[in-house]
Structure 1
Amino acid sequence: MKTTAIALCLSLICGSTFAQNAASQQQKTDTTLLFGSTRVTLPKVAEPVFRKDTLSIIDFGAVSDGNTLNTKSINDAILQANKRGGGVVLIPRGIWLTGPVELKSNVNLHIASGALLLFTKDFDQYKMVETNWEGLTAVRNQSPISGVDLENIAITGKGVVDGNGDAWRMVKKDKLSEGQWQKLIASGGIVNEEKRTWYPSESSLKGASLKNGGVIAAGKTLNDYQEIKDFLRPNLMVLTRCKKVLIDGPTFQNSAAWNLHPLMCEDVTVRNVIARNPWYAQNGDGIDVESCKNVLIENSVFDVGDDGICIKSGRDEQGRKRGMPTENLIVNNCTVYAAHGGFVIGSEMSGGARNICVSNCTFMGTDIGLRFKTTRGRGGLVENIYVKNITMKDIVGEAILFDMYYAAVDPIKLPGEKRTAPKTELLPVTEATPQFRNFYIENVVCNGAEKAIFVRGLPEMNIKNISLNNITIKAKTGIELIEAQEISLNNLNISTNSANTLTTITNSSNIMFNKLSCNKLITLLFAVEGERSSNICVTNTDTSVAKSVSSFSNGADKKSLKLK
């Protein structure tokens, strides 16, 4: 990890003196970061180094007319560079149509400014491979850019990588205008029986109708999935079990599914990257860091159709068996526009996530700002998450959300969509019970959201030990805590459009409010619900902003709330 990145993170959280000391020691050893009473060791992220030898794809027969398929030329250049001990493979200015590109160790694929690496719409060019999809072993089409078990690799330059994802993706009618929908139907493809979703082909529709389509079943081979090939959309870039990875400079856009997917990699640096997808792009995530160790993401922009910056570690039993958390990760100075979530952990986090620092980020127009999601069956432990200096504007849903009832649906309901609240029931704790604990979030400003803060744990496994400090949010509604423990909220200023209840607390305990304020006279300051609500302490708070200070329902004891 670059010294400056660690020093910056330390100065944000721990103070400048400690940061300077850590920076001076970084060249010698790992760095121990102190966050409150928690110590986290972050090893230095190693970056690749390349020979200066440069090979141009033109010398291998590539033609930049946008029509000639250059798959062989590009892969031959990469293979030759690898055989010569490494170096740079140059994709110069021009439009370069190609099929899948396979990276090799010690090679820097440099996409020059003005270069467009355009992946073909011809699905026959993408062979079926065994890979990973949403945390499970699955069959997919080969990714446009891929690499397995490589070391010392990079994709650099200011060019553009385009996955031609519109040829692959299904599209929901409710995400388009009527004119866009009619144009899409006229282009070909097929609409499902409900007339609500367009698919590019019968094969794609058939795959969508199957439960867990593409997930490898016992006794099945790749050929058994040929009839749903069109449904098995590839992620634009997948790097699996690679070490010393650098992604610096390019724009990655129009992916068929996820955009950037480092999987089980170590020492990954992503900087100065733009990831773009149409906002309606199904599964159109920006970057999904899955089961990776030692990662730096900085100075990058995401404007996509699903989660922006997302942390994962496998799904359910397979993820727990893999047992590889995403750990030792810094996200700094990134901007997220359209996305389901700005910074996200989950929901496929069965291997866990820990030691993650997010700072100096801006989210504008995302569905949710900070989004932490999981559900029963995942298992996994997410802990030691540190977030600071976050700016948000026009958040469609919640500014800050913790939810252990993730239901694999868009965070914002589409027009006419009906949803039912999850059934609350106490179940036994097993290895499949997920855990969220030890989150430290401070210095957040949000101008516009539907709800300020939402925390919802499970009855058998509450969300625990969340610290929220110096939070200013303008939202339609305020704070809701459900099945939560040891939540500290200090110096919160919530400006709401609603004159109703500012804070609702349900079956939660050890909740500490200090310096809670709001912008106007409201009806009720605290609504306490449930017989398991206890030890809610409020200090340094002006209760005159509410017509009524508190109400108690569904078995809540009046003694559970203490005003000091």
Structure 2
Amino acid sequence: MRRRDFLSSTLPIVGGILLLEYQHADAATVSRSILEFGAKPDGKTLNTSSIQHAIDAVSQAGGGTVVVPAGTFLSGLIELKSKVNLNLAEGSTLLGSSSIYDYKFASNPSAHNGPNPHHLIFAMNADDVTISGTGTIDGQGSSFWEPSDKASPAEDWAGVASHDLAPKKSGRPSPLLLFVNCRHLAVQDVHIQNSPGWTLHAINSDSVSIRGITIKNPVNGPNTDGIDITGCQNVTISNCSIETGDDAICLKSQNPFGPEPRLVKDVSITNCHLSTCCNGFKIGTETEGGFENITFSDSVVFNCEVPYKERVIAGVALEIVDGGWIDGVIVKNIKMQRSRTPIFIRLGNRKRVHDYPQHGIRNVDIDNVQASEALVPSSISGLPGMEIRSVTLSHMSLQDSLRGSSDLVKRPVPEKDTAYPESRMFGMLPASGLYVRHVRDLHLNEVTFTAPSGESRPTLVFDDVVGARLSEIRSSPISGRMPVLLQNNSSDVQILKKAG
């Protein structure tokens, strides 16, 4: 006699309580293989319905694990449910279909009212959702791309490898993995590759843990962001490795599923390795609301010895251009190699969707960044009447490997208040190390700038800077007669302690 039958026949059941408690305990251990539901690991049979039936069965049992065993399982869109762990076993591959028509909701098309309803894995309004295991999710991205008609820039340092391709007009699944309004979301250990667009996106979700995952997309893959976090709170991203063709980790503020964006806050990103031809860690570009208490730490942003257009555009990019705000960002212990620009901080005025009084950038603390083989100087730039406030750079070493012309010192730097923000946007700058404009309350402490031999530009250029404190600033020799610091329309700039 089975234990369930024995308990049912020998113990009294009062009001069904015993039966319900037993079902809850049993459900917690439910584990079903997708093979039980007819899935075939041949890489050719479309297994969407088999995988979805397995998820639905486990969900209806109260939760548990859906196992994708070793083998290659072709699939279209599947929807995860509360308390379901999709476990990709070692040697397994969940292979996204190469046909856009396979990425559609079978039972509830209205479940997704966002800008693009095509995804491989989707969850909305779900609690305790997990993707785990050491298997692979492959989006077959190249099936959804075609050559682009974008013209290459005149300067080779300004090119972007992923601009060589564009999405096909028929569409693509993007994000490959999308989670909306979820709580206690965990993605851990899996390998994700060849995403057709954004790879993993969490929107308006709380208690998000992304740990130990690997993302590997082609460097020329268009819009293949690694991890995007929009309107989420209490987020931890740790021990991840990302190689891709767009921003590696990007925080955004907008709400494609509602009227106003949620505050992005309490986000910790640590111990990650990031490589791309766009930005390593970025806040922006969609910045309609706020970002508070954000930390990016103990990570590496790098490129191998590759052409300029395949290198990171900015190692750290902090951008507010849509009426939102940054208040409280810490960047610390970051090693950069061959990032074209180490630090890019930009306050612009592209649009203002909501009229929030907190608008702006303030309280940014960047400490212990070691950057080598940069091409374009770092910059901190606001706008007249929209100044960036309270920025501190400490214990940093910024090494530039591309010598600039002395003519750049006299070239006016355009404001470009409504332009898309990117460290390439102003062209080559009049400073060799750091260009600062429209900033209040700036602190530089123990920062070393190294330029190539023969560099004739000033190391630092301040334009409309009020209230700057400099301590122990070191610079390599400057060819010609330019000073280390060139000031325009600036005041209350003090050198507190000269470099020893």
TM-score of Structure 1 vs Structure 2, range by shorter chain:
0.7 to 0.9
Work out whether 1:374 is the aligned partner of 2:314: no
Pick closer, same or farther for the CA change 1:473–1:68 going to 2, 3 Å. Answer: same
Residue number in structure 1 paired with 2:21: none
Q: Residue 90 of structure 1: which of 52, 67, 79 is its match?
A: 67
Equivalent in 303, 313, 319 of residue 243 of structure 2: 303
Q: Name the CA distance, whole Å, in 2 between partners of 1:350 and 1:320.
A: 13
User: Pick from 222, 241, 244: which aligns with 2:184?
Assistant: 244
Q: 1:503 to 1:320 in 2, by over 3 A?
A: farther
Contact kept in structure 1, 2:440 and 2:465, CA below 8 Å: yes
* Alignment correspondent of 2:496: 539
Query: Does residue 127 of structure 1 match 2:127?
Result: no
Determine the structure 1 residue equivalent to 2:369. Answer: 444
- Structure 1 residue 509 corresponds to structure 2 residue 466: yes
Q: How far apart are 1:301 and its partner, in Å? A: 0.6
> 1:323 deviation in Å?
3.7
The one-letter amino acid of 1:73's match is S
Deviations 1:31-58 (A, max 9, x none): xxxxxxxxxxxxxxxxxxx923210001
In 2, are the aligned partners of 1:308 and 1:339 still within 8 Å (CA)?
no
Q: Which runs of 5+ in 2 are unaligned?
A: 1-26, 153-162, 304-311, 403-431
Q: After superposition, where does 1:180-329 map in structure 2 within 5 Å?
A: 204=169, 230-231=170-171, 233-314=173-254, 321-329=259-267
Is this contact kept in 2: 1:247–1:271, CA < 8 A?
yes
- Residue 466, structure 1, aligned to residue 410, structure 2: no
Q: Cα offset for 1:432?
A: 9.2
Give the C-alpha shift of residue 197 in structure 1. Answer: 6.6
* CA pair 352-170 structure 1, distance change in 2 beyond 3 A: farther
- Would you say the 8 A contact 1:141–1:232 is kept in 2? no
Deviation of the 1:431 alpha carbon? 4.3
What count of residue pairs does the alignment treat as equivalent? 418
Matched-pair contact (CA < 8 Å) for 1:320–1:379: no
Pair 1:456-2:381 in alignment: yes
Following TM superposition, by how much is the alpha carbon of 1:257 offset from its aligned partner in structure 2, in angstroms?
1.5
Question: Partner of 2:5 in structure 1?
Answer: none
Measure the CA separation in 2 of the matches of 1:90 and 1:384: 41
Instruction: Find the aligned partners of 2:92 and 2:151 in 1 and give their Cα distance.
Output: 31
Structure-1 residue corresponding to 2:434: 479
Partner of 2:279: 341
What SS is found at the alignment partner of 1:451? coil
Q: Tell whether 2:465 aligns with 1:520.
A: no
Alpha-carbon spacing, 1:320–1:73, altered in 2? closer, same or farther (3 Å): closer
Residue pairs, 1:66-145, within 5 angstroms: 66-127=43-104, 138-145=114-121
Q: Which has the higher mean CA deviation after the structures are superposed, 71-80 or 333-342?
A: 333-342
C-alpha distance in 1 between matches for 2:215 and 2:164: 25
Q: Which amino acid aligns with 2:268?
A: I
Superimposed CA distance per residue, residues 388-407 of structure 1 (whole angstroms, 9 cap, x where no aligned partner): 111010112x1011022498
CA-to-partner distance for each residue in 1:514-557, whole Å, 9 max, x for gaps?
11001224432122123xx21111232259xxxxxxxxxxxxxx
Q: Deviations over 1:324-372 (max 9, x none)?
A: 1111111110010124111110111212111111210100022211111
Shift of 1:170: 4.4
| 2:247–2:280 CA contact under 8 A, matched in 1 | yes
1:331 is aligned, of 266, 269, 275, to 269
**Alpha-carbon deviation of 1:254?**
1.5
* C-alpha distance in 2 between matches for 1:310 and 1:493: 28
- For residue 344 of structure 2, the aligned residue among 397, 401, 415 is 401
Partner of 1:172: 148
- Aligned: 1:58 with 2:35: yes
> Using a 3 Å threshold, how does the CA distance of structure 1 residues 430 and 56 change in structure 2: closer, same or farther?
closer
Distance in 2, matches of 1:233 and 1:73, equals 20
CA RMSD for the aligned pairs?
2.6
Alignment partners' CA distance in 2, 1:383 and 1:156: 34
TM-score norm. by structure 2 comes to 0.78
Give the Å deviation of 1:387.
1.3
Corresponding residue of 2:132: 156
Looking at structure 2, the residues matched to 406 and 198 of structure 1 have their Cα atoms a distance apart, in angstroms, of 29
The percent identity for this pair of structures is 27
CA contact (8 A) 2:233 2:264 kept: yes
Do residues 489 (structure 1) and 440 (structure 2) align? Answer: no
Question: Would the aligned equivalents of 1:309 and 1:342 in 2 still touch at CA under 8 Å?
Answer: yes
Residue 360 of structure 1 is matched in structure 2 by 298
Residues 1:65 and 1:319: Cα distance change in structure 2 (over 3 Å):
closer
The Cα shift of 1:62 comes to 0.5
CA contact (8 A) 2:378 2:434 kept: yes
Output the amino acid matched with 2:344: L
Whether the 8 Å contact between 1:336 and 1:364 is mirrored in structure 2 is yes
Tell me, in whole angstroms, the C-alpha distance in 2 between the residues paired with 1:438 and 1:352: 13
Contact 2:397–2:448 at 8 Å: present in 1 too?
A: yes
TM-score by length of 1: 0.70
Q: Deviations over 1:81-100 (max 9, x none)?
A: 01111111100111100111
Q: Which structure 1 residue ranges, 5 or more long, are not aligned? A: 1-49, 177-195, 205-229, 409-426, 544-564
Shift of 1:199: 5.7
Is the 2:389–2:442 contact (alpha carbons within 8 Å) kept by the matching residues of 1? yes
Which residue identity is paired with 2:313?
D
Say if 1:319 and 1:349, in contact at 8 Å, map to a contact too. Answer: no
* SS at 1:82 equivalent: helix
